[in-house]
Structure 1
Amino acid sequence: MAEPTLRGTRIEEGRRRVNVWIDRWQRGIDAEESFRRIHQYYYPLVRSFFAKRGFAEEEIEDLAQET
């Protein structure tokens, strides 16, 4: 079994944290802060998804914005 890389460890830790924030948000515990953290985690991933598919910067901003 391969040793986890530093990057792999960071990704796993990020996923664990976002799962905690999702749980807190669903329970209504500090919902605004939890949602802000969830958005902060996924924002770069969502932007990258649309950028790789050729969307214009303005469209990417609209699609990835916090609502």
Structure 2
Amino acid sequence: MKKKITGFLIVLVLVLISVFIYAVQIVVFHSPRDTFFYIFQDIAFLPLQIAIVTIVLVVILKGVKKLKDLKRLIL
């Protein structure tokens, strides 16, 4: 239960930081249209980012599992 709360808090803090940065960008550059355009560009790229991260993590985790199995066989 504590891990879920910690994960939720991390996500919440990251979202709030993102909102703050976008708000500062709107205030500084006075261009909400461009800011919203780039927000949607970022959202459009999100599925591809998730796929890339997932593939990389699977490869890394498989490598870690192989190393653990090899160490167990040796010892």
What TM-score, normalized to structure 2?
0.37
Higher relative contact order (CA 8 A, sep 6+): 1
Q: Give the greater-gyration-radius structure (CA).
A: 2
